[in-house]
Amino acid sequence: MSFLDYAPAPESQAVLNLRADYGLFIDGEFVAGRGEPFQSINPATEKQIAMIAHANAADVDMAVAAARRAYDKTWSKLSGSDRGKYLFRIARLVQERARELAVAETLDNGKPIKESRDVDVPLVAAWFFYYAGWADKLDHAGVGPTPSARGVAAQVIPWNFPLLMLAWKIAPALAAGNTVVLKPAETTSLTALLFAEILQQADLPAGVVNIVTGGRDTGQALVGHPGVNLVAFTGSTGAGRAIARSIAGTDKKVILELGGKAANIVFDDAPIDQAIEGIVNGIFFNQGHVCCAGSRLLVQESIHDDVIERLKARLSTLRLGDPLDKNTDIGAINSAEQLARIRELTDIGEQEGAERWSPDCVLPETGFWFKPTIFTNVSTSHRIARDEVFGPVLSVLTFRTPAEAVAKANNTPYGLSAGIWTEKGSRMLAVADKLRAGVIWANTFNRFDPASPFGGYKESGYGREGGRHGLAAYLKPAAGRSAARAVPPAEKTAVPRKKAAK
Amino acid sequence: MTRLAVPKTYKLYLGGKFPRSESGRVYAIQSHDGEFLANAAKASRKDARDAVVAARSALGGWAGATAYNRGQVLYRIAELLEGRRAQFTAEIVQSEGVSVAVAAAQVDEAIDRWVWYAGWADKYLQVAGNANPVSGPYFNLSVPEPTGVVAIIAPQTGGSLLGLVSAVAPALVSGNTVVVVANETMPLSAISLGEVLATSDVPGGVVNVLTGSPAEMAPWLASHADVNALDLVGAGDLDWIHLEIDAAETLTRVLQPENGPDAASPSLARILAFTETKTIWHTKGLI
């Protein structure tokens, strides 16, 4: 028996009280959907968890109408402090039901319980706490005095952090005074529906938040609905591009959090043990299903062999398996579809000549699994160095000088995040300055906080979520203008013209 | 005996130089009364692409200049314009058919706008950025940075100089470089402004002025993958929805058309529209 052979320590599911079927959450009630219901499965066992309603266009219409009514009649009439109090209530309820939400998230998504329990759900509560306090302080959000809400927000979220992405979207929207129609990802609707129960517990006025589950058609109907004033989307760059096209010519405000191919740059003077942990956290956290994952390791040539050796040793200690087990480091891949994509891209990686390595580990017989994988001898033109894999796959490239590191890091259409590992402060600041990415982690990786803006450059999307910046996106400046407008407009030119006419 | 006048050849302003259109094309510019004023270069697709290359090449230097330096350079444009008030006023009178007083007022306002935006260069970051109190041992800072290469369709109505300045100046404040399509029928101010910029401290390539047909050039710029942001302020009469659709292909940031005397009126929002917020987490050591 090696030191890795722990006895199983699964988190109990007794805390869950799931229904067999879930409806749509519209106007404060659960209602049946008019589309074909679909099953939500546990990706670790492929067993059905529950049947989920599928919202068709008419259902989406009903949800948008409910959100509009709630905006006109209730939510926009409430004081900021009352809106804040509802958000504080929600935050507390999330904390109280934290274990239940964590277990449900792990069951539905496949992520290790230690992540849903220690990262996702605590951050969900933190997000609501943070934005609760903003609700009565909107004059200070940076868009000038007396800003107003935009109206009805359409929000479409991905499957990698189902409840956390919900919090990122709903908390600032409600604080700013908007009402919401949110569509969870098809494979991960469960925690959004438990969250709907929390809203009922919190007595949130009906229609302020509506949750429509379904497929791509549901999302398209929502984003394209003429009754929404704002579209917030987190997902693939391809889908984001389609949304940007579809809203062209409208006055809908858009926030897009899209893909990434982050460089994690390790200089030869890096604190190497921390860097190894940071690299592992950067790409194997949440099975690499992270848009800001550090999927390209740029390591200085002189320490390449040492880093790779240590990385392999560290990966050999990762425990892959039952996501509900408290000792599990790597959980299940979220869906068969995603697993197929990871397999396809890694196969291409091998065909293109990169060297593939994975630790010895036994994959469970049922469910969707992928071994943590490292590719060395990767060149910048390889697909695995350019395409977002969205899985536990690390591509290793090397560099010699800081300038080369920066050039390689920026050599991507994406620009979401990056990491820098060095003990030299001046070098770290200089490199951070030159990286074209919205979030940069220096001597750390994959840190998130409700006070910290998150979002991308270039094809990683636009707009920020989190912090003051994340709030501002949901606000409309007074009279549609910036408060900073100081110089009078061109009236002056109109006055003498009359004189000239005389 | 009256002196024989020397007519001016109007050219493009690309990468700090004044080339003719590589296509050799020109189009006639008329005064407000319909008289022939001059032939202006009618920029081609290749000219537009050359302008983007010039803007991209100039980006590192301009974005990397200190904020204080950028502010001074922008203020210097105002100084130079002040010295050329008579020329700009005369051109506006010719093109727009307004009185000397009206034209002079427009020039004054354009100069004041440069001054206003020049002052923002070393301040917008303090107003739009902030420290973030994250839970953990991190020093966390959010700062705005320039988006990159900004393509602008200058206002096609209203004051031809003021409209141009109102669109170009805010993009320059944070360190973006610009490709601007001038007012099609009244491009004189834009061409003359290019001459002012060439003799100012603005590095070549930071502002590139294309004259010709916005309807022709806008789709080339909107779909150009190396254009990071697209300001459609003066594109109201074009098929601008299609331009926005083209821009979506590379998630180019888009500002929609504005109309009326308030179009592109001075605001901090206009500066920030062409910035990206970068958030940096610095780990604090344990002591």
Instruction: List the domain boundaries for chain B.
Output: 36-283
The pLDDT, as a whole number, for residue A3 is: 59
Asked whether the beta carbons of A185 and A159 are under 8 A apart, the reply is: yes
As for the ipTM of the complex, it is 0.94
Whose CA is closest to A66, among A212, A206, A172, A184? A206
Gap between the Cα atoms of A314 and B284, Å rounded: 24
> Which H or E element spans position B15?
none
- Mean pLDDT to the nearest integer, B214-243: 98
Of the candidates A105, A239, A237, A446, the one whose C-alpha atom is nearest the C-alpha of residue A454 is: A446
Instruction: Output B87 or A484, whichever has higher pLDDT.
Output: B87
Interface check for A126 against chain B (CB to CB < 8 A): the answer is yes
Instruction: List, as ranges, residues 417-436 from A with C-beta within 8 Å of B.
Output: 428, 432
Residue B286: pLDDT band (50, 70, 90) is confident
Contacts of A237 in chain B (CB under 8 A): 251
Which is nearest to A492 in space by CA: B103, B228, B18?
Answer: B103
Residue A285: predicted pLDDT: 97
Q: Flag if B253 and A462 touch (Cβ within 8 Å).
A: yes
Which pairing describes strands B36-41 and B26-30: parallel, antiparallel, or unpaired?
antiparallel
C-beta of residue A9 within 8 angstroms of C-beta of residue A325: yes
CA distances (Å), B274 to each of A187, A417, B169, B269, in order? 37, 19, 11, 9
Residue A6: what pLDDT? 85
Q: What is the dihedral of CA A62, A65, A71, A74, to 10 degrees?
A: -70
Residues in chain A predicted with pLDDT less than 50, given as ranges, are: 1, 480-502
Contact B279 A443 (CB under 8 A): no
Closest CA to B55 of B96, B16, B112, B92: B16
Alpha carbon B108 to chain centroid distance?
A: 18
Cβ of B283 within 8 Å of Cβ of A442? The answer is yes
What are the residue numbers of the active site of A? 257
Contact A484 B282 (CB under 8 A): no
The amino acid at residue B13 is Y
Question: Nearest-CA distance from B109 to chain A in Å?
Answer: 8
**Does B245 contact A at CB distance below 8 Å?**
yes
pLDDT digits over B145-170, tens only? 999 999 999 999 999 999 999 999 99
The Cα–Cα gap between A400 and A299 comes to 9
Phi, psi of A402 (to 5 degrees): -55, -40
Q: Which CATH superfamily is domain A263-442 in?
A: Aldehyde Dehydrogenase; Chain A, domain 2 (3.40.309.10)
The pairing of strands A373-376 and A209-211 is: unpaired
Q: Decide: A286 and A160 in contact? Cβ < 8 Å.
A: yes
B93, B281, B286: best to mutate for the A interface, most A CBs within 10 A: B281
Give residues with Cβ within 8 angstroms of B174, minimum separation 6. B63, B121, B124, B125, B144, B145, B146, B271, B274, B275
pLDDT of residue A491: 35
Q: What is the 3-state secondary structure (H, E, C) of A15-84?
A: CCCCCCEECEEECCEEECCCCCCEEEEECCCCEEEEEECCCCHHHHHHHHHHHHHHHHHCHHHCCHHHHH
CA distance A333 to A111: 8
Distance CA A22, CA A25 (A): 9
Task: Return the DSSP state at A10.
Answer: B
Report yes or no: B96 at the A interface, CB cutoff 8 Å.
no
Structure-block tokens of residue A411: 């050599």
- Chain position carrying tokens 């940096």: B280
C-beta separation of A113 from A102 below 8 A: yes
Instruction: Give B244's Cβ-side CA count (13 Å radius).
Output: 23
The H or E element spanning position A296 is strand A296-300
Cβ-based burial of B138 (10 A; exposed 0-12, middle 13-18, buried ≥19): buried
| Helical segments of A331-386, H only | 336-351, 383-386
Pick the CATH number of A21-257+466-480 from 3.40.605.10, 3.30.460.10, 3.40.50.10240, 3.40.630.30: 3.40.605.10
CB contact under 8 A, A442 and B280: yes
Sheet holding A179-183, edge to edge: A29-31, A24-26, A209-211, A179-183, A152-156, A230-234, A253-257
CB contact under 8 A, B261 and A499: no
Contact B134 A462 (CB under 8 A): no
Q: Which of B127, B134, B245 lies nearest to residue A248, judging by beta carbons?
A: B245
Say what the pTM is.
Answer: 0.94
Strand pairing report for A296-300 and A263-266: parallel
Which residues are CB-contacts of B70 (< 8 A; sequence separation ≥ 6)?
B62, B121, B122, B172, B173, B175
Q: Which helix (H) or strand (E) holds B53?
A: helix B45-64
Please name which of B18, B48, B6 lies closest in space to residue B194, comparing C-alpha atoms: B18
On the 0-12 / 13-18 / 19+ scale of CB atoms within 10 A, A480 is exposed
**Nearest-Cα residue of chain B relative to residue A437:** B278
Q: Are strands A253-257 and A230-234 parallel, antiparallel or unpaired?
A: parallel
CA B100 to chain centre: 25
| Residue B113 to residue A486, Cβ atoms within 8 A | no
Give the pLDDT of residue A4. 61
Residues of B in contact with A492 (CB under 8 A): 105, 109
CB < 8 Å from A in window 137-166 of B: 138, 140, 142, 147, 158-159, 162
Under an 8 A CB cutoff, do B138 and A444 touch?
yes
Taking CB atoms and an 8 Å cutoff, what residues of chain B touch A258? 251
**Nearest residue on chain A to B111, alpha-carbon basis:** A487
Q: Does A452 touch chain B (CB under 8 A)?
A: yes
Closest residue to A438, CB basis, from B133, B270, B277: B277
Going by their DSSP bridges, the two strands B177-181 and A296-300 should be labelled as unpaired
**How many other C-beta atoms lie within 10 A of the C-beta of residue A6?**
12
The correct answer on CATH 3.40.50.1460 for the domain covering B36-283 is: no
**DSSP 8-state secondary structure symbol assigned to residue B146:** E
Residue whose pair of structure tokens reads 């109408």 in the numeric block: A65
Lookup: tokens for A164: 């956390």
pLDDT, tens digit, for every residue of B8-19? Answer: 889 999 999 999
Q: How many CB pairs under 8 A join A and B?
A: 159
Instruction: Measure in Å the smallest separation between the Cα of A50 and chain B Cα atoms.
Output: 36
Give the residue-averaged pLDDT of B265-280.
97
**How confident is the model at residue A487, as a pLDDT?**
38
Which sequence spans correspond to the domains of chain A?
21-257+466-480, 263-442
Taking the alpha carbons of A394, A397, A399, A405 in that order, is the dihedral positive or negative? Answer: negative
